[in-house]
């Protein structure tokens, strides 16, 4: 039925973790990544406690944490001129009760190095997939840009919100919309810290992620307004950011080219599979950046897919009848998180980005969280550990 047991389209966190776990179970796996390397800025850099639990179950957490990273264990928000503490991860009963802010290439290099120990693992860089091969009503492989073909018993699409599955309308898609887009940028930072901070005012929403010697910042704008806003140059944008966070050193924000636009989307496939094909991660469900949970949900998808499919696939079984189980396992947490994100987008962010009177006080919930350290653990748990987190149950085959 194919040259390999599994082809994974996309060499991001979900794709490489999928390839690793299936190879660990004894499958012959090819992960195909279109880029020549992993070095791309403003990718998801938030490694949550739920993901580090997976690394701990694999016996790799201590080694992983020797890689360069910054730790965040609480969240703050500035409203009406005052800072409020709204989330606390430090009390989570988990091996790593914090968010590890790590460049995505460091995370991917780590996973690739670990996967290389398994004889069935293969990672091809500069291997853009342009089409699927279909035979007798099922997906049997993929075709690359150089017209070469790769065939396998199963193809897993882990190539993000721009997935070929979506481009080819291979599976049905439901869109929920988003009221905002985001300008990402970075500015120098004079002192270290360990917080995720936000500054909110009517018509202005800035998020600052502490990266040790710099702030990685997200400046929210109304959906589809990027060209209009940047047409006036960097000065009005700098002024708005300076008003939101006067302490920021904006010397490095000199032109609109220093801004990286993220077009926010919130959607999911109404079916994640068809014979020979399974979609996971953002390919199956594009998440809003709210909470920074996208990577971690995608990793959970990868673990669930391996738990349900890797053993049977390694033994030569036809896994088509099992593909629905992955969707059924991961659909509830996906729906709940997307529902929470849509509520936050529509009822909070979208309204704040509209013109109106200045905010004179924080909402009651923000004031309550700031006042109660115990209550602050609830959003910390939801963001840090999520819903229905997975444990590695896929088999372990022999190492090289």
pLDDT digits (tens, 9 = 90+) for 328-340: 999 999 999 999 9
What confidence category does residue 143 fall into, taking pLDDT thresholds of 50, 70 and 90?
very high
Q: Is the dihedral of CA 43, 47, 48, 54 positive or negative?
A: positive
pLDDT digits (tens, 9 = 90+) for 208-251: 887 777 888 899 999 999 999 999 999 999 999 998 888 888 88
pLDDT(400) > 60: no
pTM of the model: 0.91
Which residues make Cβ contacts (< 8 Å) with residue 32, sequence separation at least 6?
Answer: 7, 8, 9, 10, 11, 124, 127, 128, 129, 142, 144, 150
CATH T-level assignment (fold) for domain 4-70+99-176+265-351: FAD/NAD(P)-binding domain (3.50.50)
The pLDDT assigned to 195 comes to 65
The pLDDT assigned to 175 comes to 94
pLDDT(1) > 50: no
The pLDDT assigned to 43 comes to 57
């Amino acid at each position: 039925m194919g040259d390999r047991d599994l082809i994974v389209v996309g060499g991001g966190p979900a794709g490489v973790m999928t390839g690793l776990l299936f190879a660990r179970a004894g499958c012959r796996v090819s992960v195909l990544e279109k880029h020549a390397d992993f070095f791309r800025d403003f990718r998801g850099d938030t490694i949550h406690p739920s993901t580090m639990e997976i690394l701990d179950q694999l016996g790799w957490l201590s080694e992983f944490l020797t890689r360069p990273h910054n730790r965040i264990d609480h969240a703050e928000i500035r409203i009406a001129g005052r800072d409020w503490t709204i989330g606390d991860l430090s009390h989570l009963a988990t091996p790593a009760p914090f968010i590890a802010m790590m460049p995505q290439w460091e995370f991917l290099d780590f996973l690739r190095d670990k996967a290389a120990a398994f004889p069935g693992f293969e990672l091809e860089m500069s291997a853009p997939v342009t089409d699927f091969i279909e035979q007798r009503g099922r997906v049997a492989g993929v075709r690359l840009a150089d017209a070469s073909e790769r065939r396998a018993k199963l193809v897993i699409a882990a190539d993000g919100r721009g997935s070929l599955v979506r481009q080819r309308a291979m599976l049905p898609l439901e869109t929920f919309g988003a009221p905002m887009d985001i300008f990402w940028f970075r500015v120098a930072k004079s002192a270290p810290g360990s917080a995720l901070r936000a500054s909110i005012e009517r018509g202005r929403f800035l998020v600052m992620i502490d990266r040790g010697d710099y702030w990685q910042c997200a400046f929210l704008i109304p959906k589809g307004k990027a060209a209009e806003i940047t047409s006036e140059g960097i000065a009005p944008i700098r002024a708005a950011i300076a008003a939101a966070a006067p302490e920021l050193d904006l010397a490095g924000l000199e032109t609109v080219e220093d801004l990286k636009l993220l077009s926010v989307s919130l959607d999911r496939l109404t079916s994640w599979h068809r014979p020979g094909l399974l979609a996971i991660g953002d390919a199956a469900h594009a998440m809003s950046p709210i909470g920074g949970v996208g990577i971690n949900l995608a990793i959970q998808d990868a673990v669930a897919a391996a738990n349900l499919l890797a053993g049977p696939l390694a033994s030569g079984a036809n896994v088509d009848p099992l593909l629905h189980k992955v969707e059924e396992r991961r659909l509830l947490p996906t729906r709940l998180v997307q529902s929470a994100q849509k509520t936050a987008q529509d009822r909070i962010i979208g309204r704040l980005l509209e013109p109106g009177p200045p905010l004179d006080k924080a909402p009651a919930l923000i004031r309550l969280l700031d006042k109660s350290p115990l209550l602050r653990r609830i959003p910390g748990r939801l963001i840090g550990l999520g819903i229905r987190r997975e444990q590695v149950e896929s088999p372990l085959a022999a190492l090289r």
